[in-house]
Amino acid sequence: MPYDTSFPSHLSIDLNHAGASPSSICRDLIKEGVTSSTEIKFYRGKTLCFVSPTTVGAWAAIRAVESENGQHMRFVKTS
């Protein structure tokens, strides 16, 4: 897996190179042993994608639903 998990108290991932969605990445990280309480930030290059810091577990518990009829993409809880 291409994610650096050597600093488990905080992770930063560049989505330009990740090849997956934040939710999918976080589910994979948990499978690899990263704790769900680990803070994670996502970037595109040097630009922070989501302003509020959140945890790996919070991202793992949601999935993105693509836009329909001109609406914005939204996040929903996984079932």
Domain annotation covers residue 3: no
Residue 4 resides in a domain: no
- pTM (2 decimals)? 0.74
5: in domain: no
pLDDT 10s digits, 10-53: 889 998 888 888 899 999 999 999 999 999 999 999 999 888 77
Structural domain includes residue 55:
yes
Burial of 62 (0-12, 13-18, 19+ CB in 10 A): middle
Beta bridge partners of 70: none
Q: With respect to residue 42, please indicate whether it lies within any of the assigned structural domains.
A: yes
Domain range enclosing 29: 10-77
* 2 within domain boundaries: no
The answer as to whether 16 is a domain residue is yes
* Structural domains in the chain (count): 1
Q: 43 - beta bridge partners?
A: 14, 48
Record the tokens describing residue 12, joined without a space: 């930063």
Any domain includes 51: yes
Q: Using alpha carbons, select from 7, 8, 17 the residue that is nearest to residue 57.
A: 8
Which pLDDT score is estimated for 9? 75
